[in-house]
């Protein structure tokens, strides 16, 4: 990873050195340019720490040429919006420590910025991500009198930590809301029915999908509370098929979020997510997303406790 990043920096440095205007920048001009660029750098970090997505995006250039490499993913400007905007909404805040930073002024319109950092990102569900070692690299261009990031690289080593001190939601009490018989319309002729019974920190039951009152899908379901992670582990057992396992957790008194078990260590990165929002004690809305794009919405009503 470090070798690739070094190659990228050397390549970009060479590219801009070869294409820059043949004009010497005086030391006085460099001082002014550095102050101007540093303001944008500070804006970027402040936006991240305050989870102010719009402030962060103000530092970036809206252009087809814009690219941001984030831990191996090459993102366009639009990609940054679709990925980071919903991610910021799940965060309580970030804290960056800049261990070392350098400004290399190639000409009066191009600056290379590199920084060694460590950071911590706290999430609303209680876990946080610790970065003990990270590198950030930006190519700043002066565009219409404004300095903006045209290219960016963020390379970090992340560690996800569950913070037991933030377990202020009673997961068992909240999960009991799913007990009973619930019914929702999938389409004009198809219906979803879930029946579950709570006992001893678990909800056991089954769900069916009926088309014109005929069962076409049926599965036994077992939700068991896991004290070590403060989550519910759900196993769905289908006849003639492999079981499916999910992890669910209430992130507020009315919202429960579920991801496949394989993504439980880093739920924010899960491609498939399901969100349950209780609008009333006898009604919830279930929204399933794939790559942060909604693919299914189901409204369920409790018809029997």
- Do residues 82 and 149 both lie within one domain? yes
- Do residues 21 and 74 both lie within one domain? yes
Question: Residue 229 has what pLDDT?
Answer: 85
pTM attached to this predicted model:
0.52
Instruction: Please state which of the ranges 34-38, 115-119, 123-127, 199-203 shows the lowest mean pLDDT.
Output: 123-127
Which of the listed residues 114, 143, 163 is the one where a domain comes to its end? 163
Question: Residue 38 has what pLDDT?
Answer: 97
Question: Residue 167 has what pLDDT?
Answer: 60
- Do residues 106 and 209 both lie within one domain? no
Helix (H, G, I), strand (E, B) or coil at 66: coil
Is residue 15 very low, low, confident or very high in pLDDT (cuts 50, 70, 90)? Answer: very low
Is residue 2 very low, low, confident or very high in pLDDT (cuts 50, 70, 90)? Answer: very low
Residue 21, pLDDT above cutoff 70: no
- Do residues 199 and 104 both lie within one domain? no
Question: Residue 163 has what pLDDT?
Answer: 61
Is residue 267 very low, low, confident or very high in pLDDT (cuts 50, 70, 90)? Answer: confident
Is residue 5 very low, low, confident or very high in pLDDT (cuts 50, 70, 90)? Answer: very low
Please list, in sequence order, all residues whose beta carbon lies within 8 angstroms of the beta carbon of residue 7, skipping any fewer than 6 positions away: none
Which of the listed residues 163, 185, 208 is the one where a domain comes to its end? 163
DSSP, res 60? B
Q: What is the overall mean pLDDT for the chain?
A: 89
Containing domain of residue 197, as a range? Answer: 171-304
- Do residues 225 and 241 both lie within one domain? yes
Task: Report the distance separating Cα 193 and Cα 302, nearest Å.
Answer: 10
If you count DSSP H runs as helices and E runs as strands, how many of each does the chain have, helices first? Answer: 5, 16
- Do residues 226 and 256 both lie within one domain? yes
Which of the listed residues 163, 197, 230 is the one where a domain comes to its end? 163
Question: Residue 72 has what pLDDT?
Answer: 78
% of the chain exceeding 90 in pLDDT: 71
- Do residues 234 and 134 both lie within one domain? no
Residue 271, pLDDT above cutoff 90: yes
CATH number of the domain encompassing residue 66 = 3.10.450.50
DSSP, res 269? G
Domain count, the chain: 2
- Do residues 11 and 148 both lie within one domain? yes
Question: Residue 235 has what pLDDT?
Answer: 96
Question: Residue 168 has what pLDDT?
Answer: 75
* Dihedral sign of CA atoms 234, 160, 256, 226 in order: positive
- Do residues 138 and 202 both lie within one domain? no
Residue 43, pLDDT above cutoff 50: yes
Angle, CA 201 vertex, CA 199 and CA 207 arms, to 5°: 65
- Do residues 154 and 177 both lie within one domain? no
CATH number of the domain encompassing residue 287 = 2.40.128.20
Residue ranges with strand state E in 49-145 = 67-70, 73-75, 91-107, 110-123, 127-143
- Do residues 72 and 199 both lie within one domain? no
Stretch 158-169: mean pLDDT = 71
- Do residues 214 and 133 both lie within one domain? no
Is residue 23 very low, low, confident or very high in pLDDT (cuts 50, 70, 90)? Answer: low
């Amino acid at each position: 990873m470090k070798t690739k990043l070094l190659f990228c920096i050397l390549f970009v440095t060479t590219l801009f050195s070869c294409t820059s205007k043949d004009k010497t920048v005086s030391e006085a001009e460099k001082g002014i340019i550095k102050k101007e660029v540093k303001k944008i750098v500070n804006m970027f970090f402040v936006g991240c720490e305050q989870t102010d997505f719009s402030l962060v995006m103000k530092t970036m250039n809206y252009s087809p040429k814009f690219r941001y490499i984030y831990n191996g993913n090459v993102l366009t400007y639009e990609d940054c919006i679709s990925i980071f905007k919903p991610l910021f909404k799940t965060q309580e805040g970030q804290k960056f420590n800049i261990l070392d930073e350098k400004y290399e002024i190639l000409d009066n319109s191009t600056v290379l910025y590199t920084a060694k950092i460590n950071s911590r990102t706290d999430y609303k569900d209680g876990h946080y991500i610790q970065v003990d070692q990270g590198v950030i690299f930006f190519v700043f261009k002066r565009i219409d009198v404004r300095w903006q990031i045209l290219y960016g690289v963020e390379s970090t080593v992340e560690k996800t930590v569950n913070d037991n001190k933030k377990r202020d939601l009673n997961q068992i009490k909240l999960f009991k809301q799913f007990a009973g018989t619930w019914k929702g319309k999938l389409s004009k002729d198809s219906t979803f029915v879930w029946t579950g019974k709570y006992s001893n920190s678990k909800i056991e039951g089954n769900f069916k999908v009926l088309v014109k009152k005929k069962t076409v899908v049926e599965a036994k379901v077992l939700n068991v509370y896991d004290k070590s992670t403060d989550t519910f582990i759900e196993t769905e057992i289908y006849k003639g098929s492999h079981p499916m396992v999910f992890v669910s957790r209430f992130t507020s008194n009315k919202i429960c979020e579920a991801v496949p078990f394989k993504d439980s260590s880093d739920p924010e990165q899960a491609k498939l997510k399901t969100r349950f929002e209780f609008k009333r004690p006898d009604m919830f809305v279930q929204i399933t997303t794939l790559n942060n794009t909604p693919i299914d919405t189901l409204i369920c009503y409790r018809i029997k406790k």
